[in-house]
A = this chain, B = another copy of it.
Amino acid sequence: MATRTASERRAEAARRYDAYIASCPTRQLLDRISDKWVTLVLSALADGPKRYSDLSRRIAGVSQKMLTQTLRSLERDGLVSRAVTPSVPVRVDYALTPLGSTLMPLLAHIKQWAEQHMDEVAAARAGHDGAG
């Protein structure tokens, strides 16, 4: 029987919509830069290449697992380059790629909005919570 229940039809609509959303470039970008560590790593690399341990120190809160994972994913996406110097001990340098650099104005825009308006958001939040 091709007859489907309402819940089955809803489920499929949701799946199709999910697929549509996943394919949306804006969503993909948002997924990328919304990551807590991604923005911190990109910002850290904005003023020049850094070694792994440099990044680890500058982004004090990050675990090695997340730092490595973040760098790997950024490298995979062509936003960050990874250069290994096979000395002893090993030396690895990370840097923004040209593509990665084009993201910086966008991050600046985000930072600008945040600095201009987040206090209004905070005020709205306080008022809302206070007024109950």
A residues neighboring B (CB under 8 Å): 13-14, 16-18, 21, 25-36, 39-40, 59-61, 75-79, 99, 102-103, 106-107, 109-111, 113-115, 117-121, 123-125, 127-129
Contact = CB atoms under 8 A, between A and B. Distances in A.
A110 B117 CA distance: 18
B121 A99 contact: yes
A61 B114 contact: no
A30 B25 contact: no
A50 to B, nearest CB: 17
A124 B110 contact: no
A16 B61 CA distance: 8
Contacts of A30: 33-34, 39, 110, 114
